[in-house]
Structure 1
Amino acid sequence: MRIIGKLALGVAALALVAGVGAKVFQRQLGEMALARIASERVGRDVTAGLPDGLHVIICGSGSPLPDPTRAGPCTIVIAGNHIYAIDAGEGGTRKLNQLGLPIGRIEGLFLTHFHSDHIDGLGPLMLLRWSGRSNTSPLPIHGPPGVERIVAGFNAAYAQDNGYRTAHHGTKIMPPSGAGGTALPFAIAGLPVVVLNADGVRITAFPVDHAPVQPAVGYRFDYKGRSVVISGDTAVSPSLVRAARGTDLLVHEALQPRLVKILTEALARTGQANTAQITRDILDYHASPEQAADAAKAAGAGALVLNHIVPPLPLAFAYPAFLGDAAKHFSGPITIGEDGMMIDLPAGSTSITTRKLL
């Protein structure tokens, strides 16, 4: 017992010394820790060494409802050497920085619709894309009719800041011609339309049902025999199933009505009648995990990833409750999207692998 007691006293003494040392040298230790983090993360390029093919990065899997683990809707598609963004939700650009994606290389942004949560991160995306490589032309922003007003508004809002950036850093780093975005609208009238077809990459927009929001579209990316479909926000849409026919991967929004009902009841019980009504209304123009699974099955998709998660889902323990009976509707792999998730679809293969980068 005496030996045990002495050991305990020794351990306590060491802990006290360590604690005092950490306090005395906290500044130096903090600098060392930050230097190590900087050496490991600064200059990281998540695209380096990727095999040729399609790669999808979820940079924002959330919705307008606050979730500490999820940024607003944001997806990256890498096709060979080309990088494209789909939607620009709040916080998505910060996640791209964390991941080490070279934002300056983004060749275009494709907006699915103009709900605020899909565009409220556009300012930071335009800014960091401009500064990332001293781009001399604005970010191309594709979207259905109305995208012109969105881009014009953000350009106007950021005009003064753009001037400050150039004045502070110089025209070599921040050339004025590269600031902001350029709107590239495309007509969408009930049928899919090819928005881009170059260097082996074909991007097709198709209409979805997100009424009363109109227009609203999803996108299909085809490259070297692999394909990815991004639904955007949508209720059940036969047009999506047709556009997704035979796709390797369907990334589909999902709202679980049973869990939203729990949130609605809590809001109503605490006197938040307005927000409670909003959570009732959103049931009309979103798809459940089971309905997303039905779409994946009908389209013959190889795998399904759910994003734009509603309600907030910060705990993986609750994932089965969110999925509900989705696995009974689709026999392929079903994954709940998380920020920092990457899905790889190498060319010349049928494989689909998922990994977490954060």
Structure 2
Amino acid sequence: MTKNIALGLGAFILVIFTAAVSLERPIGWWLYQRAIEQKAGRDLLGGLEDGLHLGLCGTGSPMPNPQRAGPCNVIIAGDQAFVVDIGEGGNRVLNLMGINPAMLNGVLITHFHSDHIDGLGPLMLFHWTRGATTSPLPIHGPTGVETIVDGFNTAYATDDTYRTAHHGEEVAPASGGGAVAFPFELTGSYQIILEEDDLTITAFRVNHAPIDPAVGYRFDYKGRAICISGDTSQSANLESVCNNVDIIVHDALQPLMVEEMRLRMEDLGNPFAARIFHDIQDYHASPEEAAESAQTAGAKMLVLSHLVPPLPSEFLYAAFLGDAESRFDGPIVVGEDGMLFFLPADGESIHKSNTL
């Protein structure tokens, strides 16, 4: 009896397996079609309420991390949208979040380290071809940004001709490819660089020596405010300019963790990597220092990004934060790609969700 049951069960499993294999193609097509219905044409910007929004389109650093793109933030104020820095993979995350790059009003660059600009090429392409855009992507940044933009335009110029030749002027108008630079010279500790439709953008100096210029940005819109630090060690100027903002997005490097990596590289006989892990510790703020700055500024929330070292699991967050939570009265968020923060116009609340 037991043998017959076993044989029957085996035959049943064989039938199910055979059916599954024979249906693999139609099931695959069905899943693919459902994914297109749910994801293709998704428009996050079209469904947002009025207010100030912060999206994290890249919370990583130059260190490889499959869960995080390079530094990338998107600020949405009413019907305006600006990306702050565009690291490798940032354009991919923007699209996964449902943000069409063709709808961007521009990009703001904090400084010219490669990991803050190396996603610019794909963003330029998508800004152009995802909306038959007739004007290049505006890139704002400190003096020197024009050299960066010229380089990307040169690198992509041949590809631009291919796109227009293949898709035609209607889809890829020749006038819309590439980017155009809008440099500003920061003569003081801060200055307003853009005012339009209730949105004010202020650039302010930060300390990322020997990198100069290096700036952060403050965004004010209908009674709400967000600061993005860029890369910096603890900055008194940031604490002053970002007074009473709702959110500070601050870069963060945990020295204890990075020092462990330095020691490991020395043990492996790699003095060059060890030297890099030593050097990067002096021009980024630790989570504790970022928390102190948020407390001094009177911010409501601190969001940590540009995370060093990579954090492949949230179980590492507590070790990464150290005692930062004891130095800031508000909530501290370890940033993850796809996070979206909503600050309703003229309100006080902060709502957090994840778009991925």
- TM-score category by the smaller chain? over 0.9
The corresponding residue for 1:173 is: 171
Post-superposition offset of 1:276: 1.4
Matched residue SS, 1:148: helix
For residues 129-160 of structure 1, give each alpha carbon's deviation from its aligned partner in whole angstroms, at most 9, with x where no partner exists: 01111111111100001101000000000000
- Taking the aligned partners of 2:318 and 2:191, their CA distance within structure 1 comes to 37
Hey, what does 2:72 align to over in structure 1? 74
After TM superposition, the structure 1 stretch with the greater mean CA deviation from structure 2, 205-214 or 92-101, is 92-101
Amino acid at match of 1:202: T
**CA separation of 1:11 and 1:108: change in aligned 2, threshold 3 A:** farther
Give the distance between the partners of 1:254 and 1:322, measured in 2 at CA: 9
* Deviation of 1:49 (Å): 2.4
- The aligned counterpart of 2:276 is 278
What is the aligned length? Answer: 356
Q: What amino acid is aligned across from residue 127 of structure 2 in structure 1?
A: R
Give % identity. 52
Hey, what's the Cα distance between the residues in 1 that align with 2:353 and 2:66? 21
Residue pairs, 1:142-181, within 5 angstroms: 142-181=140-179
1:248 paired residue number:
246
**Structure 2 CA distance for partners of 1:16 and 1:164, relative to 1, 3 Å:** same
Summarize the Cα distance change of 1:264–1:14 in structure 2 as closer, same or farther, 3 Å threshold: farther
Q: What pairs up with 1:112-123 in 2 under 5 angstroms?
A: 112-123=110-121
Does residue 45 (structure 1) correspond to residue 13 (structure 2)? The answer is no
Secondary structure of 1:271's match?
A: coil
Q: Deviations over 1:315-334 (max 9, x none)?
A: 00010000000011001000
Shift of 1:99: 1.3
Distance 1:297 1:10 in 2: 69
Worse overlay, 272-281 or 304-313: 272-281
- Alignment RMSD, CA only? 1.5
Match of 1:105 among 100, 103, 106: 103
User: Does residue 307 in structure 1 map to residue 305 in structure 2?
Assistant: yes
* 1:344 alignment partner, SS class: strand
Pair 11,60 (structure 1): closer, same or farther in 2 beyond 3 Å: farther
How far did residue 348 of structure 1 move? 2.4
Alignment TM-score, normalising by the size of structure 2: 0.97
Tell me how far 1:48 sits from its aligned partner: 2.8
In the superposition, relative to structure 1, how do residues 104 and 12 fare at CA in structure 2: closer, same or farther (>3 Å)?
Answer: farther
- Give me the whole-angstrom Cα distance separating, in 1, the residues matched to 2:261 and 2:346: 45
C-alpha distance after superposition, 1:269-297 (max 9, x if no partner): 22222111101100010000000000000
| Aligned amino acid, residue 27 of structure 1 | R
Query: How far is the alpha carbon of 1:2 from its aligned partner?
Result: 5.2
CA distance in 2, matches of 1:248, 1:135: 34
1:351 is aligned to 2:343: no
Equivalent-residue separation in structure 2 for 1:245 and 1:10 (angstroms): 73
In the TM superposition, what is the alpha-carbon distance from 1:13 to its structure 2 partner? 4.4
The one-letter amino acid of 1:318's match is: L
Mapping for residues 210-221 of structure 1, pairs under 5 Å: 210-221=208-219
CA distance in 1 between partners of 2:329 and 2:224 (Å): 20
In structure 1, the residue matched to 2:194 is: 196
Runs of 5+ unmatched residues, structure 1: none
Runs of 5+ in structure 2 lacking a partner?
none
Greater shift, 57-66 or 185-194, is seen at 185-194
After superposing on structure 2, the runs of 4+ consecutive aligned residues of structure 1 that deviate more than 6 Å are none
Cα shift at 1:33: 1.2
Over residues 58-101 of structure 1, what are the superposed CA-to-partner deviations in whole Å (9 max), with x where a residue is unaligned?
Answer: 00000000011000000000001111100010001011111111
Shift of 1:11: 5.7
TM-superposed CA distance for 1:14, in Å, is: 4.2
* Counterpart-to-counterpart distance in 2, 1:350 and 1:14: 61
- C-alpha separation in 2, matches of 1:172 and 1:152: 25
Q: Indicate the residue corresponding to 1:185 in structure 2.
A: 183
Instruction: Report what 1:87 is aligned to.
Output: 85
**Which letter does structure 1 place at the counterpart of 2:261?**
L
Aligned partner of residue 48 in structure 1, secondary structure:
helix
- The corresponding residue for 1:324 is 322
Q: Deviations over 1:234-279 (max 9, x none)?
A: 0011110111001001000000001111211222222222111101
1:257 matched to which residue of 2? Answer: 255
